[in-house]
Amino acid sequence: MARHILSLDQGTTSTRAIVFDEAGRPLRTAAREFRQHYPRAGWVEHDPEDIWRDTQEVIAEVLDDQVVAIGITNQRETIILWDRATGRPLHNAIVWQDRRTADTCEALRQESVEPAVRAKTGLLLDPYFSATKLAWLLDHVEGARARAEAGELAAGTVDSFLLWRLTGGRVHATDVTNAARTLLYDIVRDCWDDDLLRLFRVPRALLPEVRGNAELFGETGLFGRTLPICGMAGDQQAALVGQACFRPGMVKSTYGTGCFLLAHTGDAPVIGEDRLLATPACRIDGERAFAQEGSIFVAGAAVKWLRDKLGLIEAADESATLAAQVADDHGVVLVPAFVGLGAPHWAPHARGLISGLTLDSSAATLVRATLESIAFQTRDLTDAMAERPTAIRIDGGMAANDWFAQFLADMLEVPVERPACTETTALGAAWLAGLASGIWADTAALEGCWSAARRFEPRMDDAHRDRLLSGWRDALQRALL
Ligand SMILES: Nc1ncnc2c1ncn2[C@@H]1O[C@H](COP(=O)(O)OP(=O)(O)O)[C@@H](O)[C@H]1O
Ligand SMILES: O=P(O)(O)OC[C@H](O)CO
């Protein structure tokens, strides 16, 4: 009988389940968009019960008799605190985009602890990561700190919360790629770190056990039979797997809500002065791989803003047609620093701006400037890398936009490849579960499953590209003031 794998992709704006066959082809998909909560400027929350409801619904919708394993992948850093006895969250999840702990991070930076934190975690002191968000929950939910210290509470990223719920509260575990985004995990020694736990004031009793990416995490009996959950990874690392980037130097860039560019760096983290992140790529059969990461907080979210807040487009895919109508020398630059700026600037207080407006600027100009800004930001990442990539594999919602993909190739000066299956995040989690359940022998077997559907070659002349990049840098400096 054919064996299928169900992949659960819990993203920032939607929860999806996709069933893949043994050739890695998607057979069925179910998705639910869920509510974003913005309780104050710069704050972003999710209701974990919404996520859990949608998870159960999408799994039930696509599950078939041939599914033999489940893989989970998730938005990273977003943190949930829950009661071990009831399984109920004590507060909404604080989402990775949330900036409420910017001042805490700034105060820690003043104490000159950042170099030591970076050496262990590969990260930087920014509210993006989980530790300061978790400390905020412990300090602001009444009684939480004392209960955490007494071992009554559990905390974790979305993967570990879903695993807990799927296994009926029997398993509190996470995987190394998610653990590494908390600021509490030593990526070199591969363990939670007591000094970091002290620094961020997080009791160890709260934290999940950390496992590799392709192994048995637990079993769920919630869908009429027992199913093993045996693949797990943060969504950007899962996309690196789904893009078959298994060798040093290979690079993928995912354009969903944010943009996350990951370059495989081999079996050791590269922790440099580059303002990029070092992060585990995966641990399979005890073998560790690492990646260098550039995290951009706003990519597709800016297109969603054009649609939902400005009403300039009705659907995201109209953006390509509108952008193509605008003259190349339109002169408008948009800096989408809506939640500060991530790599390589790390400026949590920066705010968005639009420069160069004239009476000629139209809705189409703004749409084009928005798409351009995402490619400019990616160029800032590749400029920060010690070794410029030779090609980039793209995926995520925006990868479907041909105009954007071509402009990206023009800005990066390297070919941009779009794979046949752009659901690479879900595919990566399916591949991890498939490795653990013996469907695929090793990553070499997976490399042959990847193919490019389209390749965008750079074709813009140097003078034009340099003029655009220089306009971007001017506007960026103003947003950083
Ligand atoms: N054709 C398109 N052109 C530009 N942006 C798009 C297009 N299709 C989708 N998007 C953007 O991509 C995002 C959705 O991508 P997805 O990978 O599903 O995100 P996530 O996993 O972060 O929820 C949305 O923010 C949407 O605005
Ligand atoms: O939900 P996505 O796909 O935008 O990914 C979110 C990232 O994991 C945040 O680090």
Ligand 2 centre to CA of 456 (Å) is: 25
Does residue 398's CB lie within 6 angstroms of at least one atom of ligand 1?
yes
Does residue 55's CB lie within 6 angstroms of at least one atom of ligand 1?
no
- Nearest-atom index, ligand 2, CA of 258: 4
Q: Where are the alpha helices (DSSP H) in 23-82?
A: 48-62
Element (H, E) at 411: helix 402-412
Name every residue whose Cβ is closer than 8 Å to that of residue 301 and which is 6 or more positions away in sequence: 257, 258, 336, 338
Does residue 7's CB lie within 6 angstroms of at least one atom of ligand 1?
no
Ligand 1 centre to CA of 353 (Å) is: 21
Does residue 76's CB lie within 6 angstroms of at least one atom of ligand 2?
yes
Tell whether 20 is covered by a domain: yes
Ligand 1 centre to CA of 319 (Å) is: 11
Residue 422 has a pLDDT of 86
ipTM: 0.97
Nearest alpha-carbon partner for 105 in 347, 309, 360, 300:
347
Structural domain boundaries enclosing 171? 4-234
Element (H, E) at 463: helix 462-480
Q: Nearest-5° angle of CA 233, CA 166, CA 222?
A: 135
What pTM does this model have? 0.94
Give the residues across from 16 on adjacent strands. 9, 31
Residue 374 has a pLDDT of 97
Residue 232 has a pLDDT of 98
Residue 274 has a pLDDT of 80
- Nearest-atom index, ligand 2, CA of 74: 8
Query: Residue 68: CA atoms inside 13 Å, Cβ hemisphere, count?
Result: 15
Tell whether 394 is covered by a domain: no
Q: Which ligand is nearest to the CA of 422?
A: 1
Mean pLDDT, the chain cut into blocks of 10 residues (481 residues total): 94 96 93 95 95 98 96 97 97 95 93 92 95 98 96 98 97 98 97 97 97 97 94 97 95 94 94 90 94 94 95 96 94 94 89 95 97 97 90 95 98 96 94 94 88 95 96 94 79
Tell whether 446 is covered by a domain: no
- Nearest-atom index, ligand 1, CA of 254: 17
Residue 370 has a pLDDT of 98
Ligand 1 centre to CA of 145 (Å) is: 38
Which protein residue's CA is at the shortest distance from atom 20 of ligand 1? 256
CATH number of the domain encompassing residue 182: 3.30.420.40
Residue 21 has a pLDDT of 93
Residue 273 has a pLDDT of 79
Does residue 417's CB lie within 6 angstroms of at least one atom of ligand 2?
no
- State how far the Cα of 367 lies from the Cα of 311, in Å rounded to an integer: 11
Ligand 1 centre to CA of 209 (Å) is: 33
Tell whether 329 is covered by a domain: no
Tell whether 17 is covered by a domain: yes
Tally of structural domains, the chain: 1
Tell whether 122 is covered by a domain: yes
Residue 1 has a pLDDT of 77
Tell whether 274 is covered by a domain: no
For a pocket test of ligand 1, which of 8, 12, 13, 408 has the largest count of ligand atoms closer than 8 A to its C-beta? 13
- State how far the Cα of 328 lies from the Cα of 338, in Å rounded to an integer: 25
- State how far the Cα of 104 lies from the Cα of 49, in Å rounded to an integer: 28
